[in-house]
Structure 1
Amino acid sequence: MWMASRHACSSTVAYEVVALMGLAASRFRLATWSRVRIRMESLRRYLIAPPSGHAILMNGPWGSGKSYHWHHFALSLGDIGREPITLSVAGLVSQEQLESALFQASLSGIGSEAMREAASVIGRALLRTVKIEPNDIKLKSDFSSGKTVVCLDDIERFAGDFSVLFGFIVNLLDRARIHCVLLADENNALEKFGDEFGVSKERIVGRTIAVTPDLAAFSREVINGLEDQGTRDLLTRHINYIDSLLSAIGTSNLRTVRYFLMEAAALITDIRPADLNNVAPLLSAVCFWTFSESRNAAERSVAASVFRIGGMEVAIQTHVNRNSARTGSDGAIGRAALLLQECGLADEAANWPKSKAFADLIDGTEADTATIAEDFGLHAPNSMPKARALQATFNGYSQMSDQDLQFAIGEARALIQEGIVGDLVDLIELYRTLRHFRSMGFIAQSESDFDLEMRAAFSSYDASQMTCDQAGLEFLSEHHGAGGLPIWDTVQALATQIELREVADQNRRMLAQLADPSQEVPGLIESVGMFTDVDPNSYAAELIAGAPIATDRLSRAIRRSHRVSNVRSYLQEEAPFYESLANALEAQLKTDTPRTIAQVSVLTVKDQLSALAKMVR
């Protein structure tokens, strides 16, 4: 299964390599992009002409596509008789390191793989070993011929004094007489190197090309480079929606766009959606995750909380924020609503389901793509509860017709009124959605009448026929502001009844398991509370009647508890029952002479119970 433990930084690098391989395989050439061709015409004219003693600068912010455009442009340089050498100066500090990096870059297309790998390690030392003078290098082309084009990337990330880099560039331009292309974020370079950069630029740069990202063209090229045909076709089918997402998010970083598209492609390839028309919520969810994480890694947990809460719940909070003097930024749901607004995807959030699996994916755990597919409605669910199915329908209400929306609202109200078998938390979330719809005017009823109707419905529920996700209920109370709902006191009372019934059912199951020879013996610590409603005298009679099998199983359970060093902290409240049961066994057991195996087993477990009671008191 596809693994999701990739972090944004490492993912971006890996995806960039994959995408570039795909693009190279498709023999993409610069001429296929008219807008890029126009932008690069100045660069082409500079390279066709003899070396002028000046470099040309491609300027743009990080992620704007400088390296990307240069990579594809360099593929066409053979058409004009030029040989490119590209190297990054990021982290380099000295003239020697720059020369070594240039030498290593010049080996990128020649020799065996072993030679290239060795050169990357040995670097300039290799020059001295083989007695080659650096000024005489003729590896890819003759530097004096004017055919070589050296591209220096990441100018603003050079770690040494700019005068060192300036001298290196001047040497390339004046001594080697070659064409030189510089890639830089000029604003960051000015901030880092100050006036030294400005003065040096005037000396070595002839023309500056502003690089601005073409997100639409870039997205199409990344999608066309995907290996899986089905994924390519599906993303191409939704390319206009992808364009609208990128416009809403307001990014100019091509690396982040690639990160988004590759994550979306990986999920789609694994899921194989049954409904090809219903992938928009998944695409917008992946867009929100990847862009919020790329913007600030600390926002990853906030993005994950959106899907633990559910998009409709966040939409409700956003609506509350708009109609309240409070900022609504306190608590998980408030921060989630604020992040959605900042990312420009608040309107998309209502289409997202509550999906723990997707939240776990964002947090970096292995992707449970089957559950994600079911949560997003991309696979037909086998047995989705009616309340969840209706909630999933409401998540996409903005795409529904008025007639369909009113029909679904009627179904939801009827479901809550019936109080049939279901989970209490699912019904509460459905109620909150209906209450939100009422505030929007979709339900023609006053708030007081609506809440009175819902309170009556929840008050009529039979706790013995329902379940309750207690953790989910607690989360609702802490993060959704559900404690302020008019029906909350009714909900709490019902949840308490359900919990007591579920505990009693669990205790009965543990007792039945303890008595069943075909099942594993449960530990006393793992099944704390199973003797809560048990009468010691009645249970003693059952043990005596079932000895030695019943008593031997209880003896094994007692022995297991001795393996835990802090057993007292678990079983202290059980001590009175153990002591009472031991006394009942002693009082009820009638022994023969000689004793039977069953009688000995009863006496053994009696002594074990007494010792355990004494130990945990």
Structure 2
Amino acid sequence: MRQLDNYLRTPQPGYAVLIAGDWGVGKSYKWARYASGLADRSPITISAAGLVSLEDLERALLQASIALEIPGMVAEVGSVLGKALLRVAKIEPKDITWRAELTREKTVVCIDDIERFAGPFSAIFGFVVNLIDSSGVHCVLIADEVRAAEKLDDFGKYKERIVGATIHVDPDLATFCRLMVNGFAEEKSRQILGGGIAHVIELIEGARVTNLRTVRTLLGELKRLIEVLPSEALEQLFKSPLPSAVFFWTVVLARDANGRELVRKVFSIDHVGTMLALHDVMKERGEAGEDETSSLANTLEQLGMTGAVRSWPASQEFIDHMRGSLDVNYHVLATQFGMLPEVRPYDPLTVIGNYATVSDAEVQEAIRHAQTELMAGGHDGGAVKLSRIFSIYRSLYFLSFKGVFVETPDQWTQALLRRLDEFVSAPWTIDCDGYEVWPGEYNAEERQVIVRCDEIVEAAREHVKAVAGVTALSWILSGEGVPPNTDVTAVFSSAPSPEVLLEELQANGIAAVVRLNQAFRKRLSLINSPDFVGEDRHYAQQLIRCIEREVPFQRPMSLLNAELRQVITPLQRFVQYVERYRVRSP
């Protein structure tokens, strides 16, 4: 800051110095470091943020310049306590001491956050002129000139009258990162981050990020990971795709808080790189519109991370960590990002995703493996996952467009649809957890597959509901097994006729009727239970009529019949509860 040195070495020349630069490049940080080294000057820094008048500026200067001497304590007036005391306490002159006298050649007053001043810039102009002419002190202004000119109509008009020199600040990434890392308390964090700082700077410069606040957040996130990752994985940290994933998440959210769903999807969907490559093919053919895929592609291109995305795995553990969850398996996270020495099973989609770096023979071998997996069963011999099926389809569909796959896109689509038909009729053979389609524009062939996948999801959902209903009704009748959550489980979805159910209740005795009674009473205490079990309403009405017809009320009654008559009340209340809820709900 040589210009500041020259400015302060001379008597007040009748102007102020402006420290300018983009928001977040470190203007205030650089001034604070410079001011801390002034041995023969008394710097006073105030913020113009939120102030609206000359009186506000004068009050801020007063608060930054005096200390209250109170028996037993010293309270800075700039603190919350000090400001409160100024408002409500009677302060004697003898209790006020100047931190710095506003005298020539001694005091430097810095006014930060000029662009966030809420009043006219003429107020700041008058304040600065008073400081320069009346007090003869040196004055430094800090501002993002672009934002100041946009917000303050008279900024340009008055700036030239009081600013004699402008110092433009560019971010000093290397120095800032080094100081940040050296400031971390844990030696392990300092050592590992220090060894990878060149990689971090490469990411930052590649994305043309200049906001040091974002850089500070990034370093903080990497430090947080170092503290929780397995120690044996840490030496691989900067050789893995994890830092670039953290960088992408951090920068996207720093620029737009609404980007949370975007970054989540990137790490929740398999083989996003292949999806983007297919998008590029569609774009070249003029078949890709402006959608979320296009937005992601543009964001990655702007950040210089089009290649990095291919190495990011789908990882719920990573999502949970970045969201601050306490329940994260960091051994799994490290394995997913290739930081641990465990050998991963062969994945043909990984080979296809890296098609640009593998041989033709390896790609064709991966195609055969993917087709075999699709027809034979699950990726690891377990349940067939719908998300995996869709990833296989998209990967081979992409290769088909490039002419690398023997089948045409239409032939491959029809083959996949025939396979999906099997799951529509047997939904219990497929696992739909984790299945998610990236929002975007798809051509007619892809839409056919997505529609069929949606049919599978619905069929699987109905199957799960039916199984849960059978299990819940079985427990009500027998009392065996773990009690189900009948608050949100429809118990009549697969029930026999009301007449048969009544016979089964009678056969299982009073305890079964009591369990049915309790199940429906519990539903009445859950505000939104009709969302989950409202479909039981019609059957409950039929069961009420059946009990009234088959179990007449006449004295003396058996205990079983008394319990059956009594269950009519919670059933009736449940029916009414569902009907009222549906009237209220839009």
TM-score normalised by the shorter chain: which range applies? 0.7 to 0.9
Partner of 1:422: 384
Is 1:245 aligned to 2:203, yes or no? yes
Q: Hey, what's the Cα distance between the residues in 2 that align with 1:531 and 1:199?
A: 76
1:574 offset after TM fit, Å? 0.9
Deviations 1:218-254 (A, max 9, x none): 2333233233333344433433332232233323222
Q: Hey, what's the Cα distance between the residues in 2 that align with 1:110 and 1:436?
A: 75
1:262 offset after TM fit, Å? 2.4
1:70 offset after TM fit, Å? 0.9
Partner of 1:294: 254
Alignment of 1:172-251 (within 5 A): 172-193=131-152, 197-198=155-156, 200-251=158-209
| Identity between Structure 1 and Structure 2 (%) | 29
> Which amino acid counterpart does residue 172 of structure 2 have in structure 1?
D
Partner of 1:572: 537
Alignment of 1:27-426 (within 5 A): 40-78=1-39, 81-107=40-66, 114-116=75-77, 117=79, 118-122=81-85, 129-130=92-93, 139-144=98-103, 146-193=105-152, 197-198=155-156, 200-272=158-230, 275-276=233-234, 277=236, 280-309=240-269, 311-312=272-273, 315-316=276-277, 318-326=279-287, 328-330=289-291, 332-355=292-315, 366-367=324-325, 370=328, 374=332, 377=335, 390=347, 393=350, 397=354, 402=359, 410-420=368-378, 421-426=383-388
Partner of 1:16: none
Q: Could you list the runs of 5+ residues in structure 2 that have no partner in the other structure? A: 577-586
Partner of 1:466: 429
Taking a change above 3 Å as real, the CA distance of residues 199 and 562 of structure 1, as seen in their structure-2 partners, is: closer
Conserved? CA contact 2:249–2:263, under 8 Å: yes
Q: Hey, what's the Cα distance between the residues in 1 that align with 2:218 and 2:407?
A: 43
Taking a change above 3 Å as real, the CA distance of residues 467 and 417 of structure 1, as seen in their structure-2 partners, is: closer
1:315 offset after TM fit, Å? 2.0
Conserved? CA contact 1:437–1:443, under 8 Å: yes
Comparing 340-349 with 119-128, greater Cα deviation is found at 119-128
Q: Hey, what's the Cα distance between the residues in 1 that align with 2:150 and 2:416?
A: 61
Partner of 2:584: none
Partner of 1:548: 510
1:67 offset after TM fit, Å? 0.8
Conserved? CA contact 2:293–2:438, under 8 Å: no
The residue matched to 2:140 in structure 1 has which SS? strand
> Which amino acid counterpart does residue 373 of structure 2 have in structure 1?
L
Partner of 1:7: none
Q: Please, what is the CA RMSD of the aligned residues?
A: 4.6
Deviations 1:267-297 (A, max 9, x none): 4434457534356544333333333333334
Q: Hey, what's the Cα distance between the residues in 2 that align with 1:536 and 1:530?
A: 10
Conserved? CA contact 1:281–1:376, under 8 Å: no
Taking a change above 3 Å as real, the CA distance of residues 210 and 530 of structure 1, as seen in their structure-2 partners, is: same
Q: Hey, what's the Cα distance between the residues in 2 that align with 1:348 and 1:455?
A: 32
Aligned length: 556
Deviations 1:451-485 (A, max 9, x none): 45545555566936623327x55x53865749743
Q: Hey, what's the Cα distance between the residues in 2 that align with 1:614 and 1:141?
A: 76
Q: Could you list the runs of 5+ residues in structure 1 that have no partner in the other structure? A: 1-39
1:432 offset after TM fit, Å? 1.8
1:506 offset after TM fit, Å? 1.8
The residue matched to 2:103 in structure 1 has which SS? helix
Conserved? CA contact 1:146–1:179, under 8 Å: yes
Conserved? CA contact 2:469–2:491, under 8 Å: yes
Conserved? CA contact 1:278–1:377, under 8 Å: no
Report which structure shows greater RCO (CA 8 Å, sep ≥6): 1
Q: Hey, what's the Cα distance between the residues in 2 that align with 1:93 and 1:606?
A: 74
> Which amino acid counterpart does residue 199 of structure 2 have in structure 1?
Y
TM-score (norm 1): 0.73
The residue matched to 1:206 in structure 2 has which SS? strand
1:156 offset after TM fit, Å? 3.2
Q: Hey, what's the Cα distance between the residues in 2 that align with 1:128 and 1:166?
A: 30
1:602 offset after TM fit, Å? 4.3
> Which amino acid counterpart does residue 21 of structure 2 have in structure 1?
G
Deviations 1:414-469 (A, max 9, x none): 32221242222332223323433454566565445544554555556693662332
Partner of 2:582: none
Conserved? CA contact 1:103–1:124, under 8 Å: no
Taking a change above 3 Å as real, the CA distance of residues 275 and 463 of structure 1, as seen in their structure-2 partners, is: farther
Q: Hey, what's the Cα distance between the residues in 1 that align with 2:569 and 2:160?
A: 93
TM-score (norm 2): 0.77
Comparing 141-150 with 251-260, greater Cα deviation is found at 141-150
The residue matched to 1:93 in structure 2 has which SS? coil
The residue matched to 1:183 in structure 2 has which SS? strand
